[in-house]
Amino acid sequence: MSFYTWKTDRLKRYSIVVILALFCALFLWVGQWSQLPVFSNKGEPRALTQGSDERSHVALTFNISWGTDKVHEVLKQLDAHKAQATFFVSGEWAERHPDIMTVIQEGKHEIGMMGYKYESYLELKPEQVSADLRQAAQAFEKLGFEDIEWIRPPHGHVDKEVLKIIEKEGMQAVQWSVNPRDWENPGTNNIIDQVMNEGSEGDIILMHASDSVKQTPKALEVILPGLQQKGLKLVSITELVSGSESETSQID
Mean pLDDT taken over the chain: 85
Which pTM does this prediction carry? 0.81
Question: pLDDT tens digit string along 137-150?
Answer: 999 999 999 989 99
Give the list of residues 6+ apart from residue 233 with CB closer than 8 angstroms, or none. 56, 57, 58
d(CA 96, CA 65): 11
Q: Is 213 exposed, middle or buried (0-12, 13-18, 19+ CB in 10 A)?
A: buried
Band of pLDDT at residue 24, cut at 50, 70 and 90: very low
Q: Is a pLDDT exceeding 50 seen at residue 125?
A: yes
Handedness of CA 125, 130, 135, 139 (dihedral sign): positive
Distance CA 252, CA 225 (A): 37
Is 121 a residue whose pLDDT tops 50? yes
Share of the chain above pLDDT 90, in %: 77
Residue 26 has pLDDT above 90, yes or no: no
d(CA 140, CA 90): 9
